[in-house]
Each structure stands twice: as C-alpha cells, then as structure tokens.
Amino acid sequence: MSSSSRPRHRSRARRALARLVNDPDERPWFLLNTGLLMVGLIGLIAEILLWQVAIRLQ
C-alpha cells in the first residue's frame, strides 16, 4: 500500500489538472487562464526592466 502513504492532495490536484487539460469544455478556460498568467508575468518583467532603464536615464 504505497499509494496510501503518499499525500492524497497531490494526486487529486494532478487528476484535476489532467481533467482540465483533457476536458473539451474546460480546455479553453484553462488555456485562457494560462495565457493571461503568461501575459501578466511578461508584462511585469517588462515593467521592471523599463523601470531600471528610467532610473538609469535620470
């Protein structure tokens, strides 16, 4: 019984993630959320870099 010694929440989260990716009804929302997350992270990095350039130019 090695599966019972493992924490259950990890396999439950992995199963939910697999259902999100594979379910055709949930997939667009999953892709939209990950896309928005990526755009937000890239925007944050770009803003930090622009802030650094603006501080150097002063």
Q: What is the pLDDT of residues 41-52, one digit of tens each?
A: 999 999 999 999
d(CA 24, CA 46): 33
Q: pLDDT per residue over 4-26, tens digit each?
A: 555 566 788 888 878 777 777 77
pLDDT, residue 36, reads: 95
Mean pLDDT in residue range 53-58: 90
d(CA 7, CA 54): 48
Look up tokens 């929302």; give the residue: 29
Sign of CA pseudo-dihedral 15, 18, 23, 28:
positive
Helices 8-22 & 27-57 angle (0-180, nearest 10): 100
